[in-house]
Amino acid sequence: MLLAAAAALSILAAFAAPLRAVVLACDLALALLFAFDVLRTPRPDALDVRRRLPERAALGRELARTLRIDARGVPGAAGLALEVDEEFPPSFSVAARAEGSARDAREPAQRGTTTPAPADPSGGPDRGRIPLSGPLDLVRVYVPRLRGVHELGALRLRLTGRLGLAQRSARIDGRHATAVEPALAGLRRNLLLAASERWRDLGARTLKRRGGLVEFDSLRDHVPGDEVRLVDWKAFARRGRPIVRQFREERGQELVVAIDCGRRMAATTSQDLSRAGRSGPVARGMTKLDHALDAALQLAAVALEHGDRVGALAFDADITAWIPPARGRAQLARLRKRLFALTASVRESDLERALREVALRHRRRALVLVLSDVADPLSIPRQAAALRAGSGRHRVIFAGLDDPALRAVAEGRAAAAGPVRAAAASLLEERRAGLQRLASRTVRVLDAPPAEAAGPAIAAWLAARRSG
């Protein structure tokens, strides 16, 4: 406004000579005010800026970053308006909300604190006002769209002078990393179900074994080879012949989850994670591999809770990761650490090699659950042969991840031209026929939407565990 007034006065002075002295005086006053505003505005890099960021974040879930800005000890900073821009990876999107608050906010009006405007979803600056006492917290909410380790980068701070004539900026370098892992959207619910009596009845398998020292089962006559420590001496005295105690133990199963990381698993989905009334974000941009890892880790968590030994193998044309089966909570941490950053490659998957490697690396009979997709019709015979060969040593379940976008077009739930809809329906029919060809007496085949793959996988594991 001052500049506009000075410009208008200058135009008038061009036609009225007596006003020229007034214009010079106004220009001088404006320059002095600008110099005063510059001198009274401290450098932004003199502020104490600390960034807090969780070490781990869930894919597709909100991630809150907090900047704590402390101006105590910086003369002239209190009450100034502050803007902050932050470098963030392209795989992060900015949620349409952010908030700034003063730590000492007992009297916001008197202390000159304000609540900044919501952050621009495109990544616009976070805004706040330096409080008269205490630090200022600026919270920005990101939504990560890609798994792996990602970094927030440098900050650009801008302080506006009290008169609004000057603005000083500074760049603060620094990097903070966070590991974006599978969201495990239904893990808590599945663990609660696994702890319920109903799931225990379905999942636990008890076997009678000689020598098992877990829980007493019955008495029987002694046979040569029984250990002396198993003799029940009171029963021996009553019956007049050697009687031994027989125990039963709960035996953990062996589970290996094989995760396809080939090119077909790079297909993105727009499946909504909030199904059946469960609240949750829309998993837009998540790939089939993202959902497969989510399902694999949920299944591993439930199986480990039941005392099973769980391992994992990731493959495309080669073996990209192998975690030998083991028990305990530490095994789940190992699985998450090794699997969370896997990415889909551009190569075709070799299922035959993957199952052959499982047979070579794990000699004990196990349940192998393959999380993959159905190949093109020309590759179906090779996939079926691989599954049959793999079932020679291990029990194999093949979980084929559906394509929600393709199904939506074929079923008319998404706008598409007639020829496109017909082509989608033809592809779905080919996929259904392919799944039927993969199934056999020794191989069970599942067909599941990617975002809901954990449920069918856990149900198939429970059924296999129950049947032994």
CATH fold match for the domains 44-181 and 187-202+252-467: no
Rounded Cα distance between 153 and 296, Å, is 32
Give residue 452's pLDDT. Answer: 81
Q: Any bridge partners for residue 67, and if so which?
A: 51, 138
Helix boundaries (H) for 97-230: 108-111, 187-195, 197-203
pLDDT the model gives residue 96: 58
User: Which DSSP category does 265 fall into?
Assistant: G
The DSSP bridge pattern shows strands 268-269 and 254-260 to be: unpaired
CB 350 within 8 A of CB 316: yes
Nearest alpha-carbon partner for 361 in 405, 416, 308, 321: 321
Q: What angle do CA 301, 307, 311 make, to 5 degrees?
A: 55
- At residue 146, φ and ψ (nearest 5 deg) are -145, 135
Query: Which tokens is 421 given?
Result: 């809809």
What Rg, from alpha-carbon coordinates, does the chain have?
A: 33
One DSSP character per residue, 67-125 reads: EEEE-TTSTT-TT-EEEEEE---TTEEEEEEEEEEES--SSHHHHT--PPPPPPTT-PP
Note the pLDDT of residue 279. 37
pLDDT along the chain (468 residues), means of 10: 76 76 82 88 91 90 91 88 92 69 41 40 78 89 89 93 89 91 74 53 37 59 79 88 71 86 83 39 68 91 90 94 93 91 90 92 92 82 88 89 78 77 82 85 85 84 77
Contact in structure between 129 and 81 (CB atoms under 8 Å): yes
Per-residue pLDDT at 132 = 85
Contact 339, 367 (CB under 8 A): no
CATH of span 44-181: 2.60.40.680
pTM of the model: 0.68
Q: Give the residue extent of every domain in the chain.
A: 2-40, 44-181, 187-202+252-467, 206-250
**CA 438, 439, 441 angle in degrees (round to 5)?**
135
Calculate ∠ Cα 416-422-426, nearest 5°. Answer: 130
CB half-sphere exposure, 259, CA atoms < 13 A: 33
The predicted structure's pLDDT at residue 196: 53
The whole-number pLDDT of residue 285 equals 66
The pLDDT assigned to 138 comes to: 92
| DSSP string across 360-401 | HH--S--EEEEEE----GGGHHHHHHHHHHHTTTSEEEEEEE
d(C-alpha 128, C-alpha 337), whole Å: 38
The C-alpha atoms of residue 384 and residue 406 are separated, in whole angstroms, by 24
CB-based contacts of 24, cutoff 8 Å, min separation 6: none
Q: Which CATH architecture has domain 187-202+252-467?
A: 3-Layer(aba) Sandwich (3.40)
